[in-house]
Amino acid sequence: MPRLHWWGTLLYPAALVAVFLGCQLLLRWLGAPAGLEASLAAVPAVAALLFSLPPRLQRCWGEPNPWRALGVAAPAAQLLKALVRGALKAVVLLALVIVALTMARQLSWMPRISPGLLLNALALGLGVGFAEELLFRGWLMGELTLLIGQQRALWLQAALFSLVHTRFNLPPLELLGLLIGLLLLGLALGLQRRADGGVLWGAIGLHGGLVAGWFVLHQGLVAIQPEAPTWLMGPDNPIGGLVGWLGLVLLLLIRQPWWNVSSSASTP
């Protein structure tokens, strides 16, 4: 039987954030390069997540197979199919962005690809995709589902994902655009896991593919005009602009009505 309490659900991520911030302070005190503090501090924070999740699920969810419940462990064929399907959706979304910006004459091609750039993109995509999906669509959505039900959990995890990733120093309209874009992305990632029958790797492929793909495009293939309107492009990335919104809404609408709580978890 699950033994969940709201205070535990709140304190668990707070403890992970404390590990991350504490490591950042320690690294700063040790004289680590300022630009690397966050990346280096993320390693022990992710390690704490990996080591603490299984006993938490066993104790609080009553789950004897934690990694399967989180969607990480799955038959190889199912895992690979979900990963590829998610990554292909990321490619399509990024292609829509490139086409839109090209038609708006806000983009020029400046290829400067290197093996190091591609390796950095792969590491960034897998690292961010796996860690964030494990936390948000693996643990958080699963725990919220036990507390408040499947559909409310879908919306709440997307809202929290949006708030955590938003930069609140932006002007109000840019802030609103980014909040909405991140909310749509959180919904799309949650629904991706549901569509894959609970397997997390499709969401990892979609999220990691967007991160890695945008890194390659922005750092190695294209230059975006500095005067590109933020309502179209979003602040720094397309997720908070009209182009990103339209792509994500299209991704949401190609399925059966996703607002219906009776949607099957194994819908293809």
Residues β-bridged to residue 224: 107
> Are 29 and 21 within 8 A, CB to CB?
no
Tens-place pLDDT, residues 207-245: 999 999 999 998 889 888 877 788 888 887 888 888 899
pLDDT of residue 262: 44
> Are 191 and 265 within 8 A, CB to CB?
no
Tens-place pLDDT, residues 71-115: 999 999 999 999 999 999 999 999 998 998 888 888 888 888 899
Residues β-bridged to residue 107: 224
For the chain, percent of residues with pLDDT exceeding 90:
61
Return d(Cα 23, Cα 10) in angstroms, integer.
21
At 248, which amino acid appears? L
Instruction: Report whether pLDDT(265) > 50.
Output: no
Return d(Cα 180, Cα 264) in angstroms, integer.
26
From the list 10, 262, 66, 267, the residue with the least C-alpha distance to 150 is 262
- Global confidence as pTM: 0.91
Return d(Cα 32, Cα 40) in angstroms, integer.
9
